[in-house]
């Protein structure tokens, strides 16, 4: 006898559909819709994963998706609350004691330092229900403004650019299938062939027509896919994407490729943008970026021809956004799309690729420091009044805006900063810039509470660890990269000791005497979210679980009594006058990092490079989950520094040899991986690994002044050979074996 349940992959925002099947357990009950029954959770019982037909993945899955179920019965699962003792060892305690300790820590911090001494760090992997409730819990139960989330490290620059250009931010304002028929696609800073492989099928039409253009300092798997079809790979110096976009826009304007009717009818600010790009003719941009002037011209011409002949799309990713000028760079991409008349067209468009599983929904309903549910600004009196009415509290009880993630983390342990921190669905020890400073901040806290299902590197630093549910054990909704709200249904019975974050927040709210109500039932919370979002930019009020159970497409905005919106901007943009805003931007806002070696690490053989960080096919985010999957870890067991053979030869570095990568913030020790796919003055490190292999030991905590995005993609480092790998590293352990 077998039983099965339909669900969605727990990883990226593509949210590929899948079916979990167990060879044991009760037979599925006869009922309408894809409502599952609980599968067997007996240790060792295999769960079969199959891709399911769905617009984003069409039955396909990547390696991470195929192996995702192996974590559900993982022996490293945390199944009971753990309290750190004076000796640093975590030991089991009961739930009542754990919740009492957390509540006491909150009261103590508030009494000694004020309400903002309590902080919350959330995650883009939380369901909409949990993300919504976390924002409410922080502001009412904890009384703090100090809440932000790891989406600040992912989508914040693209979101800020979208808000100022369009008046609203939705990653893809069109269904992903729309890309299938595109004649031309310009993809900047995204290696989808490794980060979300099933997405590549939507690029095949443009690739086969020779119309796929990829911008990446590395010859990534996506760039290689492009070359196979006669497309273009533009390989700029790291951090020069803004100048490149201005150069392409210069060609569009000066070769009369602008959609003038669209500009006049649907935009404002054209004249200022024309003046701002005048100084960026292709030959000058070539000297800045290293991209040949003729390729810049060819890109502009292909985009314009595609817009006329079948559709052009411009897509951005983290590679161009994770900079201190990331908002301006994303704005330059939007400006280019507006010059060509793409946004709102029936066959063209602009979009940004959301990364985390619920990166879109997670930023819409209250986790961000400056937002309330429905994408409402926390400083807007009308928004505050609406949400206060739904919550049944006086408006003045809702705190004002808090601190974006980097500033929040910098405040840890300080007298006027956060003294008690709650962390949900985020491994900040590995994922945050200047990670060594973050670890020091965590260790200076009076009390750290981490909700997780594995002993992540952040959980290992916690005073109290609260075990929570995994993806296949919980009910709720997520919103994928195209603004489509999806149902996550429980497929497994959770371990007896694990609890939903909704249950945890409800119990803590009781202990703290919090105003309003805190349900542990996901559907009840979603119905409250619907009311709170009603009338907002991200309006979910017309969506309910019944609609999702019937499999209906539900793209927000979806107002009560209305229908969903698969394509935004067909008739108007979200600014009061209905027009999109062209905003002039120019290069100039770069970080001041010297990339200097720490005094103890100087060496004559060291050479300076620009460091790029990014993802591997086998791993996801901080690697806390994928490093526990045997097949994925075996394929990529360690961090490797990708370096050009010519650069390596100048330092007598051979393939597989140990190297040191260092700057004033820290040092990474790993093996070298020689590759002609990277520029000679640039090196690449994946960010999935901890401790001495942690790329974020080297990244800078300087931020974009608009979005709060840190500088992840362009940091100065020094590379040198290492005679012997330090004891305790993965590298040293592998050599010993």
Share of the chain above pLDDT 90, in %: 88
| One domain for residues 65 and 89 | no
- Alpha helix stretches (DSSP H) within 310-355: 318-321, 326-339
Q: Is residue 665 part of a domain?
A: yes
pLDDT digits (tens, 9 = 90+) for 234-280: 999 999 999 999 999 999 999 999 999 999 999 999 999 999 999 99
The answer to whether residue 580 sits within a structural domain is: no
Structure tokens at 541: 């009020």
Positive or negative, the Cα torsion across 42, 46, 52, 57? Answer: positive
User: For 520, what's the count of Cα atoms within 13 Å in the CB-facing half-sphere?
Assistant: 12
Residue 300 confidence class, pLDDT cut points 50, 70, 90: very high
pLDDT value at residue 728: 53
**What are the pLDDT digits (tens) for 562-582?**
999 999 999 999 999 999 999
Residue 201, in any domain of the structure: yes
Residues of the domain holding 614: 599-736
Please give the Cα distance from 415 to 332 (Å, whole number).
40
Same domain, 684 and 700: yes
pLDDT for residue 30: 31
Same domain, 302 and 334: yes
Residue, of 35 and 570, whose pLDDT is higher: 570
Q: Which two tokens stand for residue 322?
A: 């994770």
The answer on 329 and 379 residing in a single domain is no
Q: How confident is the model at residue 592 (pLDDT cuts 50, 70, 90)?
A: very low
Q: Lowest-confidence range among 187-191, 328-332, 596-600, 671-675?
A: 596-600
Q: What is the pTM of this model?
A: 0.94
Do 263 and 344 fall within a single domain?
yes
Distance of alpha carbon 132 from alpha carbon 430, whole angstroms: 25
Q: Give residue 598's pLDDT.
A: 58
Which pLDDT does position 4 carry in this prediction?
Answer: 79
* CATH number of the domain bearing residue 648: 2.40.40.20
Q: Is the pLDDT of residue 225 over 80?
A: yes
Average pLDDT over residues 706-711: 96
User: Does residue 594 form part of some domain?
Assistant: no
List of residues 6+ apart from 380 with CB closer than 8 A:
none
Question: Are the beta carbons of 710 and 701 closer than 8 angstroms?
Answer: yes
Q: What is the pLDDT of residue 27?
A: 35
* Last residue of one domain, picked from the residues 20, 43, 71: 71
Identify whether 585 is part of a domain: no
Asked, for residue 490, whether it belongs to a domain, the answer is yes
Is the pLDDT assigned to residue 434 strictly greater than 70? yes
Question: What is the model's pLDDT at position 595?
Answer: 60
Q: Of the candidates 518, 545, 579, which is a domain's last residue?
A: 518
Q: How far apart are the first and last CA of the chain?
A: 44
Pair type for strands 464-467 and 447-452: parallel
- What one-character-per-residue DSSP string does 294-316 give? HHHHHHHHHHHHHHHHT-EEEEE
**What is the pLDDT, as a whole number, of residue 228?**
77
Q: What is the pLDDT of residue 45?
A: 54
Q: Are residues 244 and 384 in the same domain?
A: no
Residue 578 lies in a domain: no
Buried b (16+ CB within 10 A) or exposed e, 633-648: eeebebbbbbbbbebb
Both 421 and 501 in one domain: the answer is yes
Q: Is residue 532 part of a domain?
A: no
Instruction: Please state the rounded mean pLDDT for residues 219-239.
Output: 92
Give me the percent of the chain exceeding a pLDDT of 70: 92
- Minimum mean pLDDT among 29-38, 69-78, 447-456: which range? 29-38
How confident is residue 551, by pLDDT bands cut at 50, 70 and 90?
A: confident
Residues 508 and 653 in one domain: no
> Same domain, yes or no, for 123 and 180?
no
**Do 379 and 341 share a structural domain?**
no
**pLDDT average, residue stretch 312-327:** 96
Same domain, 237 and 308: yes
Q: Tens of pLDDT along 485-514?
A: 999 988 888 999 999 999 999 999 999 999
Residue 317 reports pLDDT greater than 70: yes
Place of tokens 């595109």: 182
> Does residue 249 share a domain with residue 218?
yes
- What CATH number corresponds to the domain at position 478? 3.40.50.740
Question: What is the per-residue pLDDT across 402-413, written as a single tens digit (0 to 9) for each?
Answer: 999 999 999 999
Q: What is the pLDDT of residues 210-222, one digit of tens each?
A: 999 999 999 999 9
Is the per-residue pLDDT at 695 higher than 60?
Answer: yes
pLDDT for 43 beyond 60: no
pLDDT at 26 over 60: no
**Structural domain count, the chain:** 4
Q: Give SS3 for 19.
A: strand
47: confidence class by pLDDT, cuts 50, 70, 90: confident
Question: What per-residue confidence (pLDDT) applies to 737?
Answer: 43
pLDDT of residue 481: 96
Please compute the mean of the pLDDT values over residues 283-301 and round it to a whole number: 98
Average pLDDT over residues 348-366: 93
Computed over every residue of the chain, the mean pLDDT equals 93
Asked which of 326, 353, 380 is the last residue of a domain, the reply is: 353
């Amino acid at each position: 006898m077998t039983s099965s349940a339909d669900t969605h992959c727990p990883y990226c925002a593509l949210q590929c559909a899948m079916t979990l099947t167990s060879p044991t357990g009760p037979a599925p009950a006869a009922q309408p819709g894809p409502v599952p029954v609980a599968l067997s959770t007996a240790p060792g019982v295999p769960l079969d994963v199959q891709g399911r037909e769905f617009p984003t993945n069409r039955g396909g899955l990547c390696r991470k998706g195929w192996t995702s179920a192996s974590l559900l019965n993982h022996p490293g699962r945390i199944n009971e609350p753990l309290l750190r003792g004076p000796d640093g060892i975590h030991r089991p305690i009961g739930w009542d004691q754990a919740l009492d300790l957390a509540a006491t820590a909150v009261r103590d911090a508030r009494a000694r330092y004020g309400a903002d001494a309590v902080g919350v760090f959330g995650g883009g992997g939380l369901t909409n229900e949990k993300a919504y409730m976390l924002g409410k819990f922080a502001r009412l139960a904890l009384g703090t403004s100090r809440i932000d989330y790891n989406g600040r490290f992912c989508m914040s620059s693209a979101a800020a650019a979208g808000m100022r250009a369009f008046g609203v931010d939705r990653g893809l304002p069109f269904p992903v299938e729309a890309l299938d028929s595109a004649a031309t696609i310009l993809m900047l800073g995204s290696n989808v062939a490794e980060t979300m492989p099933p997405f590549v099928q939507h690029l095949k039409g443009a690739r086969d027509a020779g119309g796929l253009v990829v911008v990446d300092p590395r010859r990534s798997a996506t760039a290689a896919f492009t070359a196979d079809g006669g497309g273009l790979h533009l390989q700029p110096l790291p951090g020069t994407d803004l100048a490149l976009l201005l150069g392409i826009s210069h060609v569009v304007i000066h070769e009369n490729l602008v959609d003038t009717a669209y500009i006049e009818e649907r935009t404002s600010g054209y004249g200022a943008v024309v003046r701002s790009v005048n100084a960026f003719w292709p030959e000058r941009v070539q000297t800045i970026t290293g991209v040949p002037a003729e390729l810049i011209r060819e890109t502009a011409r292909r985009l314009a021809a595609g817009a006329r002949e079948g559709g052009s799309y411009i897509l951005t990713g983290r590679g161009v956004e994770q900079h201190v000028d990331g908002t301006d760079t994303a704005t330059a991409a939007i400006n280019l799309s507006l010059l060509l008349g793409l946004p709102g067209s029936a066959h063209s468009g602009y979009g940004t690729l959301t990364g985390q599983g619920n990166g879109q929904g997670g930023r819409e309903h209250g986790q961000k420091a400056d937002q309330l549910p429905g994408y409402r600004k926390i400083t807007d009196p009308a928004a505050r009044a609406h949400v206060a009415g739904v919550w049944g509290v006086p408006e003045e009880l809702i705190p004002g805006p808090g601190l974006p993630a980097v500033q929040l983390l910098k405040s840890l342990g300080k007298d006027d900063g956060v003294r008690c921190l709650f962390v949900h669905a985020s491994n900040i020890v590995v994922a945050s810039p200047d990670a060594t400073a973050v670890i020091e901040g965590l260790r200076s806290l009076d009390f750290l509470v981490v909700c997780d299902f594995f002993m992540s590197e952040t959980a290992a630093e916690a005073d109290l660890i609260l075990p929570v549910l995994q993806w296949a054990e919980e009910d709720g909704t997520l919103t994928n990269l195209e603004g489509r709200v999806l149902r996550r249904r429980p497929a497994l019975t959770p371990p007896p000791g694990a609890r939903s974050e909704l249950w945890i927040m409800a119990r803590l709210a009781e202990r703290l005497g919090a105003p309003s109500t805190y349900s542990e039932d996901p559907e009840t919370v979603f119905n409250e979210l619907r009311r709170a979002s009603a009338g907002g930019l991200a309006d979910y009020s017309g969506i309910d679980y019944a609609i999702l159970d019937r499999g209906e497409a539900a793209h927000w905005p979806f107002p009560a009594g209305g229908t969903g919106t698969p394509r935004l901007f067909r008739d108007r943009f979200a600014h009061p006058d209905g027009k999109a805003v062209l905003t002039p931007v120019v290069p100039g806002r770069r970080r001041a990092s010297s990339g200097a070696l720490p005094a103890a690490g100087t060496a004559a053989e060291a050479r300076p490079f620009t460091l790029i960080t990014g993802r591997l096919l086998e791993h996801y985010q901080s690697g806390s989950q994928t490093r526990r999957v045997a097949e994925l870890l075996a394929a990529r067991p360690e961090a490797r520094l990708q370096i050009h053979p010519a650069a390596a030869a100048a330092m007598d570095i051979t393939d597989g040899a140990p190297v040191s990568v260092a700057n004033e913030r820290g040092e990474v020790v790993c093996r070298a991986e020689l590759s002609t796919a990277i520029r000679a003055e640039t090196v690449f490190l994946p960010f999935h690994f901890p401790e001495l292999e942690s790329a974020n030991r080297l990244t800078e905590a300087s931020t974009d002044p608009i979005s709060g995005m840190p500088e992840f993609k362009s940091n100065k480092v020094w590379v040198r050979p290492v005679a012997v790998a330090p004891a305790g590293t993965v590298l040293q352990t592998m050599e010993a074996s």
